[in-house]
Structure 1
């Protein structure tokens, strides 16, 4: 059902405006933050890959697999953001940080050949976790290929945390906006509500009702004009009531006079006329001159 009151309409409009603005701003901020964070991660992966490839080149050339494995284990322990490390050559893993061996699908993914440059590729593990896979040829591919996987878990947690913060900020702004709107509506609709109640009282016949006038704005001017209109209505009503009473009084006197004339016309003796005259004098009816004329006519 659509809202009927002005307060409901304004509250819905303000809420829709704040929520829409909050969602739009949140999307723009998180999108830019995500792009910046992704650039940071790729730069970090490239720097780590470059450093590790330089350190491992000699071990690969002399086929020192033990030292190579120790180097990879040291890198994985000192960099929590690294999800995995391995060095492959001729589709074979020379050293790796996996407990159960390098997955075949991962070994074949993001494959680079001699002469290719470093390359990034997003890879999803069977567990659902996603990695940014960085492949870098060592010595142009002569010493194999370094594969380094940066986990996106921390990166996605930061994005989610930012979304939560933006949502909390939007809710806080929404609450403040609603509080301000309610205060504004109370100030705006209070005189209008008073006017509506006053019109109901007038409809019941109470013309003595007045509404308070506060401020100098348009609503205050409306309230003042309403009071002046009701005052004029009350004055006109009193005048009409007085005129109605005068008309009723005159009508009553006219009917009384007509009745007296009919009574006088039916009189036959002087004593009856004198009796009527006495009654008229007692009630001070201003028609005695007529009776006097009838009395004179009877004597003649």
Structure 2
């Protein structure tokens, strides 16, 4: 029932759209609500757990980064403190060396420095001989605290030392005093206590512990000042000797341990996930239960039971959907009956509509009415009509309906191009879906999903209703009528195709009638020999232009022209040559006047030109230019006797000029005044022009040339030559 109702068009509006939704839901079993429930659960979990997971990852990364940064900062601070502690040690050793040097002449000088705790060993030398020692002197080499930065101490030391010169009473150097501090666990422990980090020596020799061995091995592989991490989880930095820091050392701190934090974060995420899954499942179940009931009711409607109802338990969106469904089912029977009667009535009126449109003479209006009626009959959302131009080489947009953002007047297609061009070239109708049936739409065509397109062809040119026997000869298409996208997203059917072809046939007949009428109208107002307007159109145009000039207070110049001695041309060269002269004169006349001017053949060799908004001076300029153009080049006419050389026939023209309202108050009066001026031009010797003088009824005319005497008006006579 849903499918049947949606096929009846868009008259019922929202009812049809709702029924299409019903049909879509009823096409699946109601058990599929489990899938919807799963989708809702997944969506809720994505919304809830997504930020939780992202937050947990962010916290883990942030904590790890901060821990690493704090460990690095602690390591850097320990290195700075270590350098300061070594500087203090070097100052203490220097003080011890100075004490020994000052007491150098005393046997207990070295022991005094050691006894005061300034150094753990002292040595005083005189030249190459050792004068005194105190404490346990470690083996050389010793790292010198006073070594310059450009000359760092070697790494294979056993102690650090500070030395000063021993001077005699005269200030002469007699020897040197050394204060020594062995590099052992005592010194390294004191440095670690002073710096707050673990200190390991990089001197040659076995490290005291396995952990120190791992630290020393890693540090020796690092660049100076670089940082690394041991397998035991300690952050290590290498410090090479420099000025004020004579030792090669490695400082280390424990690497940050964030495993416990990660375990807590994982536990939090798991708990949040369990809670979210429970809430999501409950929410999805409470949401899909009314939809399950609605799907069951829709199935009943699809089977023809319009009495199906949905229980409404809430006033939310689902509840309102149930209320709407119940209201729709109550009204559906009446809508179906009304739509069926409306469609049958609409199809019955197509013949009457075609007869009515065939009697009009405005092709655009005819096509617009046909297109609007076709869209209403088929329920289409949009449509367009394209017609072939006179050459038959291009389809041009004529009228459109519902084409938002598309200028139909700019639509141009070649036969065979896209959907519309294919229909025009083949003469065969097409319907279907673009994505399934094709063809590929041209870039200039309207965009659509479904379509039906038929050629605009007269009934005698081929099938137009689908009921006639098929012929091999394709119809002679005048254009294409196409409709797009039925309301309700349904495809066009065979009934729509028959309806549209009937419209297209009526459109072709009506357009042909208009063209025949226009051609007959044109022939009735046009001289067939010269292509100029004839005397019948002259009277209508003169009346119209006189009214316009009178309304706006403008001048209207009228020129009466007559070819001189034209009878001699007919007698001497034949009527065929005379016709050629008349046609050539008409061509030259059209070339000299403006687009807004009018040229007429009044009869025989007599012509009339109307010049809107032109005074006597302007008309005189045109008359002079036209006389020159005619006089300058004889007309070439092929001889009737078969002579290969064309004959040159000289031609001149006499012109009379009158201007409304100066020479007449009506069109007839002005034309008569121009005719009188033409007689004066002929009497004055021909091949010239005269301007009428005086008001209406005056019989005098004057030559326009300044200073020339006015010619007397001769008695009226025939203008045959």
Q: TM-score range by the shorter chain?
A: 0.5 to 0.7
Point out the structure with the larger strand share: 2
For each residue in 1:176-220, what CA deviation from the matched residue of structure 2 results, as whole angstroms up to 9, or x when unmatched? 433333333233212112223445677899988643312222211
Give 2:542's aligned residue.
none
For each residue in 1:126-180, what CA deviation from the matched residue of structure 2 results, as whole angstroms up to 9, or x when unmatched? xx3343212335663652123112232xx1x32x333333333333333343333
1:150 aligns with 2:256: no
Give 2:185's aligned residue.
69
Contact (CA 8 Å) 1:138, 1:145: kept in 2 or not? yes
Contact (CA 8 Å) 1:53, 1:138: kept in 2 or not? no
Give 2:220's aligned residue.
108
CA distance in 1, matches of 2:194, 2:290: 70
1:66-215 maps to which residues of 2 (within 5 A)? 68-73=184-189, 85-88=199-202, 91-92=203-204, 97-99=208-210, 102=213, 105-106=217-218, 108-110=220-222, 112=224, 119-124=225-230, 128-137=231-240, 140=243, 142-152=245-255, 155=256, 157-158=257-258, 160-199=259-298, 210-215=309-314
Query: Does the C-alpha gap of structure 1 residues 77 and 53 become closer, same or farther in structure 2, counting only changes over 3 Å?
Result: closer
What residue ranges of structure 1 are gaps of 5+ in the alignment? 113-118, 235-300
In structure 2, the residue corresponding to 1:64 is in which secondary structure?
strand
Q: Which has the higher contact order (CA 8 A, sep 6+)?
A: 1
Q: How many residues align?
A: 214
Point out the structure with the larger helix share: 1
In structure 2, the residue corresponding to 1:215 is in which secondary structure?
coil
Which deviates more, 23-32 or 182-191? 23-32
Query: Does the C-alpha gap of structure 1 residues 189 and 42 become closer, same or farther in structure 2, counting only changes over 3 Å?
Result: same
- Residue 69 of structure 1 deviates from its aligned partner by 0.9
CA distance in 1, matches of 2:36, 2:194: 63
Give 2:317's aligned residue.
218
Contact (CA 8 Å) 1:49, 1:146: kept in 2 or not? no
Query: Does the C-alpha gap of structure 1 residues 97 and 210 become closer, same or farther in structure 2, counting only changes over 3 Å?
Result: farther
For each residue in 1:2-28, what CA deviation from the matched residue of structure 2 results, as whole angstroms up to 9, or x when unmatched? 997111112223334545444433333
- Residue 77 of structure 1 deviates from its aligned partner by 9.3
Contact (CA 8 Å) 2:49, 2:273: kept in 1 or not? yes
Query: Does the C-alpha gap of structure 1 residues 75 and 167 become closer, same or farther in structure 2, counting only changes over 3 Å?
Result: farther
CA distance in 2, matches of 1:171, 1:100: 38
Give 1:33's aligned residue.
63
CA RMSD of aligned residues (A): 4.2
CA distance in 1, matches of 2:86, 2:33: 71
Give 2:167's aligned residue.
none
- Residue 53 of structure 1 deviates from its aligned partner by 4.1
In structure 1, the residue corresponding to 2:239 is in which secondary structure?
strand
- Residue 87 of structure 1 deviates from its aligned partner by 2.3
Query: Does the C-alpha gap of structure 1 residues 46 and 163 become closer, same or farther in structure 2, counting only changes over 3 Å?
Result: same
CA distance in 1, matches of 2:319, 2:181: 92
Say which one has the larger Rg: 2
In structure 2, the residue corresponding to 1:105 is in which secondary structure?
helix
1:251-262 maps to which residues of 2 (within 5 A)? none
In structure 2, the residue corresponding to 1:135 is in which secondary structure?
strand
Query: Does the C-alpha gap of structure 1 residues 192 and 75 become closer, same or farther in structure 2, counting only changes over 3 Å?
Result: farther
Contact (CA 8 Å) 1:72, 1:86: kept in 2 or not? yes
- Residue 99 of structure 1 deviates from its aligned partner by 4.6
What residue ranges of structure 2 are gaps of 5+ in the alignment? 1-31, 90-118, 120-159, 162-178, 334-721
Query: Does the C-alpha gap of structure 1 residues 24 and 200 become closer, same or farther in structure 2, counting only changes over 3 Å?
Result: same
Query: Does the C-alpha gap of structure 1 residues 195 and 150 become closer, same or farther in structure 2, counting only changes over 3 Å?
Result: same
Contact (CA 8 Å) 1:120, 1:132: kept in 2 or not? no
In structure 2, the residue corresponding to 1:102 is in which secondary structure?
helix
Give 1:266's aligned residue.
none
For each residue in 1:47-87, what CA deviation from the matched residue of structure 2 results, as whole angstroms up to 9, or x when unmatched? 22333444455274354337x413534777999x96x5312
